Amino acid sequence: MNFDNRFTGRATGDLLMGLPSQLALTSLTVVDQSQWMNFYFIQDDFQVTPSLTLNVGLRYEFATPPLEKDDRLVNFDPVSGTPTRPRTFAHWSGETERPDGGAVDSAGNYWTAHYRGGKVVQLSPTGAVLAEYPVPARCPTMCAFGGPDLRTLYVTSATNERPADELARFPCSGGIFTMRVDVPGLPEPHFAG
């Protein structure tokens, strides 16, 4: 994609307007990808004086990283601009074998919630299944380590757009669940701002 000041007189202007002068699709890859997003916004106007009105709003956005059905991984070569060494970390099949959000422990194991699978799966650094842990909800969505020793695994779950009969069978859906684990998780970086 190139921006060469054809439309606005400045390349940066073309970029900000989303007006490329040239666009080429160099590779076509079909992926089964999903992402969970929630966005909320509230706003109100306050008239302070007849000539001054304050417009105040609050916005909350949450989006998981894009998730690929088969957890295929690829390295990106910034010099050539192409993906290199594609490989499959773990292979899943079936409607209930859909990994969602995950976390990594201090041994390099990957813990992933299986959306529609009602479980959390622990994978080795090579992608081998080490253990499966049931969750009292059909749609767990995310794993995160916490607690003072990072040995508590927190698992969130969803109710959004789930059928009523499923929610009746899994009344804990939408809850946050915890379990103790042997290997502590990795600490998350703290927000510096």
Give catalytic status of residue 149 as yes or no: no
- Residue 115 buriedness (CB in 10 A; 0-12 / 13-18 / 19+): buried
The Cα 3–Cα 9 span in angstroms is 10
Backbone angles phi, psi at 67, to 5 degrees: -115, 130
Q: Are strands 98-104 and 82-88 parallel, antiparallel or unpaired?
A: unpaired
**151 CB-contact burial (10 Å; exposed 0-12 / middle 13-18 / buried 19+):** middle
Instruction: Please identify which of the residues 44, 45, 71, 100 carries the catalytic annotation.
Output: 100
Q: Which residues are catalytic?
A: 100
